[in-house]
Chains A and B, each alone.
Chain A
C-alpha cells in the first residue's frame, strides 16, 4: 500500500502525530466481493470467555445485579418477580445487539461501494490501528469516537473489519429502530439500542448498565459509544455525557477487570453529509424522523464529492493510570458489589474530568483541511474578499494555527492559492468565486418577491453551514482568543484584571466550548504561552500588553469568537427587554429567535449565528448554571424565572462596560 504521508519528514514539530494511509486505494484496485468474503479472524482479549450474543443476554438476566433490582422492585410494587423479570427480558430484547458476521460482510460490501463514490480518500493512521491491535488483547476496550455524522456509526466498524480487528458493540439511540429493516441491520452489525431518556426507570437502568458491564467484564467485544451523546450539528465538540462512561468504568472501580483502555477516535470530514440538514435544524426546521425511505432518498447525495475522511485512532488511555491516586477503590469494599449505589463525589468528579479529557483528545487529533481556515476568514468578511487577499490571509492563518499546534492537513508543497481553490471547489453550495472575488453564496433572488424572513433564512443556512467548518478549528484558537477578548474587556491591563476577566469569560462559555472544569490556571498559562510565542503579547511584571505586531492577530482572534459574544449578549437583551419576569421554557427558543430576527431585519444586528438554536440552548444552560435564570416546575410546565439584575451584569460584562465589573470580580 503506497502511503502518502501527511507531513514531510522535515517538519519535526508535527511528527508527534502519526502518518495517514488511504485505505480506499487498495479497495479501488481489488474486488469488493473478495474483500467482503475475506477471512476474518480478529485477535481477541486475552481473558475472553468466547460466547454468543444470546449468552450475553442470559448472563445479564441471571446476574445478581439484575436479580437484586427485580426483587427490590417486586417488594416495592407488589408485583410478582416473574412479571418484572419478563419486563426485563423485553427491555433486553429491545436493546441487545445480534452481531452477525454475514451482515457485517454485507455492510462491508455496500459501504465499499458507497465510500468509493462519495469520498476521495479515507485516511487512517496505521500506527493507531497497530496500537489498537495490541490494546485489544490486553484489556477490555472502550472506543470513543467523535460524532459529527451518521457515517461515524459505520466507519469505525468498517475500519476494524478491514484491519481484521474485533468488531465493537455500539451504543445507538433508540430512534434508529424507527427505521424498519435498517435498524435490525444495524443491530446485526453490532449496534445495541438505548432509550434517549429513562431517568426514573430503575429496571431499565439496571438492565442497560448490566448489559454494558457484562460485555466489558467478559472482554466479549470492544464497546463503542459517543461521549457527546448526539451528533454535533455545529461540528463543535459537545459537552460530554458521563452516564455510559461511568457505567463502563465501574467494573474497574470494583476490581472486576484489571484495567480498561479508552481509545479516543477523531473522525473528521472534509464535507459533512448532513451539512445543510444541520443548518436547517439549527434554524428550527425539525430533524426529519429516521426512516428507510428517507435514507433511500438520500441516495441523491451519492452523486456529490465529499472529499476526504480522516480517522485518527488515538493512544489508548489506561483508566487505571488515570485513577491512580484519585480514586480510593476500597470505598467499594463495604457493600456487596451487585448492589449499585450512587457513586461518591470523588468518582463523579473523576468521571467528568475523564470525559472532558477524552473529548479534548478527540479535538486535538481532528484533522483540519485548509478549507476550515478559508471558512473562518470568509465568515469575518461576509461581503466577500479579493481572491488574492484570501489566499494571503489563509497562508497567514495557517502559520498561526500551526504555531498553536493545529493538526492541519496541508502539505508544504501545496500553495495557498491551490489549497483555497480546492476548498472552494468542494463547497460550491456555500461559496461563490466570481471575477477575482470570493463571497458566501446566497440563494439568487427568485422571480417572485419573497418575504425578507425567507431571504434571511436562506442566508442563515449558508452562514451556519460555513460556521460549522470554522467551528472545527475553534478549539485551536479558543484559549488565546479568550485571552484576547479578556484583554479587550478588562478595565486595566493588570494581570489580575485580565486573569479574572479570562476566568469570567471561560466560565460563561463553558457550555459552549470544551473547557475542562477546574483548569483555569492551565488554560490561562497556555493562552499566555501561545500568544507570547507568536509575539502577539508581552507579559510584563504586572501587566499583559499587546505588541504592535500582535494587534492584527488579537483582533482576528476576538473577531473569530465575536458571534458567540454577541449571541450571549442578544439573549441577555432579550431576557431583559422582552420578558416580564418569567417565561415558559418551551417558548424560550422561539422567543429568542423572533427577537433576533426582528433586530437583524431592522439592521441593529448583523450576526446571523445568533439564530442557531444550539447557541441559544447553550446560553440557557449557562444562565441557569450561573443562577441568572431559575427553573421552576408546576406540573408539566417548566418556567424560567429571570433575575434581571444578574442578567444585566452578565451582558454588561460581556460588552466590556466597566462600571459593573466590581461585583463580578467578587464572584470570581
Chain B
C-alpha cells in the first residue's frame, strides 16, 4: 500500500514536471499575421532571390545568370556582369595556370546542354486532395517544370554534373511558397493529413545531398520553398536581438540590419544565397566566427514546425539548464525533423572599422605554427586563414590585369624582396589572410599583436590587397568550378576539423592520398589537391580542401570523383579529423 502510494506520488510529480516542460515547448503565442502579403506590394524592396529563381539564376550552375567566368576570344579569362567588383575584369594569368595545373586545353571543351528542356521532364505525381486543400487556403504553389528542377538539387558535384548533361533524377512534384509561419503550420498539417512528402528548401546551396529527392519515394514530393518568408519581424535593441523569418537570404539579412546600424556578423561563404533557416538546419559556421560565433552561438530562439506540432522555447534567454538543449537537436538536422520558420539571433552594432591584411610565411609548417600560437593567445582576428602553396599560386592566377605600369613594377619589387632578399621559396611559401574588425584604435593594436606573433614564425606582412583578394576568392570559387566544367575539369571542396597537433599530418596525408587515388583510378593528369586552414579554435582548427582534376579519358568521372573523395574522407578520419566542420553531412 505504502509503496504504491509513494509510487503514484512520484508519478504525479513526474507528470507535473513533464507538463511544465511541455509548457515551455508549446506556448500559445498569438499567431503573428503574415507580413509577406504586405511586402509583395512594396515596390521599394528589391528582392535578392525572386520566387521565380530562373529569372536571375542559373539552372545548371552557381549563382546569377549574368555572372560567369569565360575565356574570351583572345583566350583571356574574364568575369562577366556587374554584380561583383570583378565584373568586366580580365585575368591574364588564369589561362596559363589553368592549363598547366590541370593539363587542360582551351581547345577541349565540354559545354553543358544549352537550355532546360521542359519536355524531357516527367509530369508531376500529384496528390490531388493535398493540392485542392492547398488551393483553398490560397497558399501560392507551382507545378511548372522549371520551378521543380530548380528545387531538385543542391550544389554537389554530381548534381550539377547531371544537370549540365541534361539529366534529371526524381524531381519534387510541386513547389509551395508559404508566406509566414502559419502557412508552414498549415502545409505541414496538410502533408500529414494527405500523406505527402515535404522537403524544406531555402537557398538551395546544400552540399550534402539533403535536397536530393529519394528516387524510390512513392508519395508526392512537395518542395517547401521558404524564400518568401524573408522579413525581419522585429529588432530588440535593448537585448541586441532580432527576430527574423527563416527564409531570409544571408546578404539581405545583413543589408537590412546594416540599415538600422546592426549586423549579425554571420558570414558563411555561401551567404549570398543561403538562408537563415538553412544555417540553423545545417549547423553553419561563419567566416568571422572568432568575433560573432558560429550559428549555435548566435541563436537565441528557434521556431520549428514538425509533423507533431510546433517546437520552440517559451523564453528568449542566453542559457538554460533544463535538460538537453532542444536547439541542438534542431541544428544539424538538415530538414529531417521539421521546418525552421523563425529565428531570434544575436545582433551587434556595426563595427566602426574593418581592415584586411596578409602575411607571407616561408612554408606551411611555419604558418600553422603561427595560427596555433594566435589561437593559444586567443587573439585571433575576425578571420584568419592560411592558404597552402598551391592555393597561393591559385590566388595569384586570379590577379586582375593591373591598370598601370607603376603597380606592376611595385608587384615585381615585392616579389623580389620576398624571394631574393628574404630567401623565400616560391614553391613553398604560403599566405595567411586576415580580417580585423572593431574600434579603429583596438583594430590597430590588435593588428600589431598579430603581426608580432607572425614575425616570430618568419611571417612578413604582405599588404591589405592580398588579404582582400584572398577573401574574394571564396565568393568566386563556385563560379570558377563552372568554368572548369566547361573544360573537362571537375572538383569540389570538403572540410574537416582537427586537433592542432594533427593539422600538418592530416593536410599532407589527405593531399597525398588524393593524388595517389587519382593516379590509381586512371586520372591522366595530377589533380589539384590543396588546402587551407580557415578557422582556429582553442583545441583545433578547421581545414578546407579543394580538389579538382581533368577528367578527359574517364568513362565515369563523377564516380571517380566520388571514390576519391570517399578515400580522402577515410584518410581524414584515420588522421583524427571529423567528417565535417560545417558543411553538414548527416547523409554521408
Which of B's residues lie within 8 Å of A, judged by CB? 501-502, 505-506, 508-509, 512-513, 573-576
Contacts and interface: CB of A to CB of B under 8 A. Distances in A.
Contacts of A333: 576
B545 to A, nearest CB: 15
Nearest to B502: A255
Contact of B506 (A47, A255, A328, A332): A255
Interface string A336-363: 1100000000000000000000000000
Contact of B575 (A47, A255, A328, A336): A255
B501 A329 contact: no
Contact of B509 (A255, A332, A336, A337): A255
| Residue from B501, B512, B574, B576 whose CB has the most chain A CB atoms within 10 Å | B574
Nearest to A337: B501
A255 B573 contact: no
A336 B513 CA distance: 23
A407 B576 CA distance: 45
Contact of B576 (A47, A258, A328, A330): A330
Contact of A329 (B508, B512, B513, B574): B574
Given A255-B502, A336-B501, A337-B501, A330 B509 contact: no
Contacts of B512: 258
A624 to B, nearest CB: 38
A47 B575 CA distance: 18
Nearest to A336: B501
Contacts of A330: 573-574, 576
A543 interface: no
Size band of the A side of the interface? 10 to 19
Given A329-B574, A330-B573, A332-B576, A258 B509 contact: yes
A258 B573 contact: no
Given A255-B505, A258-B513, 13 more contacts: A47-B508, A255-B509, A255-B574, A255-B575, A255-B576, A256-B505, A258-B508, A258-B512, A332-B576, A333-B576, A336-B501, A337-B501, A337-B502
A79 B501 CA distance: 30
Contacts of A332: 576
Contacts of B576: 255, 330, 332-333
A439 to B, nearest CB: 58
Nearest to B573: A330
A588 B491 CA distance: 69
A115 B508 CA distance: 44
Contacts of B575: 255, 329
A438 to B, nearest CB: 55
B570 to A, nearest CB: 9
Interface in A227-271: 255-256, 258
A329 B575 CA distance: 7
Main secondary structure on chain A at its contact with chain B?
loop
Nearest to B508: A258
B18 to A, nearest CB: 37
Contacts of B573: 330
Main secondary structure on chain B at its contact with chain A?
helix
24 contacts: A47-B508, A255-B502, A255-B505, A255-B506, A255-B509, A255-B574, A255-B575, A255-B576, A256-B505, A258-B508, A258-B509, A258-B512, A258-B513, A328-B574, A329-B574, A329-B575, A330-B573, A330-B574, A330-B576, A332-B576, A333-B576, A336-B501, A337-B501, A337-B502
A330 B505 CA distance: 14
- 3 shortest A-B CB distances, which residue pairs? A329-B574, A255-B575, A333-B576
A137 to B, nearest CB: 13
B225 to A, nearest CB: 40
Contacts of B574: 255, 328-330
Nearest to B505: A255
Contacts of A256: 505
Contacts of A47: 508
A195 to B, nearest CB: 31
Nearest to A251: B505
Interface string A629-660: 00000000000000000000000000000000
A258 B513 CA distance: 8
Contacts of B505: 255-256
A158 B513 CA distance: 35
A170 B370 CA distance: 37
A254 to B, nearest CB: 8
A330 B570 CA distance: 10
A328 B508 CA distance: 19
Interface in A21-55: 47
A388 B573 CA distance: 67
A328 B570 CA distance: 10
Contacts of A258: 508-509, 512-513
Interface string A302-342: 00000000000000000000000000111011001100000
A354 to B, nearest CB: 18
B496 to A, nearest CB: 12
Nearest to A49: B365
A255 B505 CA distance: 6
Nearest to B504: A256
A658 to B, nearest CB: 53
Nearest to A323: B574
Interface string A610-630: 000000000000000000000
Contacts of A336: 501
A328 B571 CA distance: 11
A329 B510 CA distance: 14
Contacts of B506: 255
A23 B381 CA distance: 63
Nearest to A255: B575
Contacts of B508: 47, 258
A323 B513 CA distance: 14
A153 B389 CA distance: 42
A337 B575 CA distance: 11
Nearest to A139: B512
A92 to B, nearest CB: 24
Nearest to A329: B574
| Residue from A47, A258, A337 whose CB has the most chain B CB atoms within 10 Å | A258
A256 B574 CA distance: 11
A333 B578 CA distance: 11
Interface in A249-307: 255-256, 258
Nearest to B498: A333
A641 B508 CA distance: 55
A337 B498 CA distance: 14
A235 B573 CA distance: 44
Nearest to B512: A258
Contacts of A255: 502, 505-506, 509, 574-576
B518 to A, nearest CB: 15
A328 B505 CA distance: 17
Contacts of B502: 255, 337
B224 to A, nearest CB: 38
Contacts of B509: 255, 258
Contacts of A329: 574-575
A579 to B, nearest CB: 52
A634 B201 CA distance: 76
Nearest to B576: A333
B54 to A, nearest CB: 45
A288 to B, nearest CB: 47
